[in-house]
Amino acid sequence: MKRLAVYCGSATPADPRYIELARHVGMTLAREGIGVVYGGGKLGLMGAIAGSALEAGGEVIGVIPQALVRGEVANYDCELTVVSDMHERKAAFTRLSDGFLVLPGGVGTMDELWEAVSWAQLGYHNKPVGILNAFGFYDGLLEFNRHMADVGFVRPAHQGIVMAESELDLLLTRMRAHEPVTPIVNMNPDTL
């Protein structure tokens, strides 16, 4: 993995563990020679990841929609690309990265996560999707994902798309060993 799209919040929660986590992730990725592709802002977890990766000498590529340049305080310290909208932003994340690493975040992070999962199911990419479940932040979401599978809305072949670990090193190891799933378009229609 040369680059990972890192999805996380642009907010700064009151609990300092989240910013510390983001800084740790940015620094670790840089030290391991993994570039960061992220939302292009200076605020919240996004800014902490970018700042720490840059401080550690890592590659950081920001992709930000024009409408968010002022609101998220665009980070001109990294290689920054300004795009027209969120669709173009997410397409750039997919094009520029070798996988998706999801940290705590809000609605935008969820949108990015589920699109990465959906696109893997459909065959638009064959890259790993990893959730860093620090502090149990994603316990409920992971339980819901299991519920969707149990009910039958996630096919058995796609139940392994979402990888989750509470430790970054374990998650990166799993992501490196990722085996692409069979996309829906390549499945036998009789088994769908």
> 15-34 pLDDT, tens per residue?
999 999 999 999 999 999 99
Q: Please indicate, yes or no, if residue 79 is contained in any of the structural domains.
A: yes
pLDDT in tens, 78-104: 999 999 999 999 999 999 999 999 999
Residue 190: pLDDT band (50, 70, 90) is low
Q: Please indicate, yes or no, if residue 85 is contained in any of the structural domains.
A: yes
Give yes or no for a contact between 48 and 27, defined as CB atoms under 8 angstroms apart: no
Q: Please indicate, yes or no, if residue 185 is contained in any of the structural domains.
A: no
Give the structural domain span for 165: 3-178
Q: Please indicate, yes or no, if residue 183 is contained in any of the structural domains.
A: no
pLDDT in tens, 128-173: 999 999 999 999 999 999 999 999 999 999 999 999 999 999 999 9
User: What is the number of structural domains in the chain?
Assistant: 1
The whole model's pTM is what? 0.94
Q: β-strand 129-132 against 35-38: which pairing, if any?
A: unpaired
CATH of the domain at 149: 3.40.50.450
Q: Please indicate, yes or no, if residue 27 is contained in any of the structural domains.
A: yes
- The pLDDT value recorded for residue 192 is 61
- In this predicted model, which residue has the larger pLDDT, 166 or 181? 166
Half-sphere exposure of 39 (CA within 13 A, CB side): 29
Q: Please indicate, yes or no, if residue 186 is contained in any of the structural domains.
A: no
> CA triplet 162, 166, 171: central angle to 5 degrees?
55
H-type helices in the chain, by residue range?
A: 17-31, 44-55, 86-96, 107-122, 139-151, 168-176
| Tokens standing for residue 48 | 């902490």
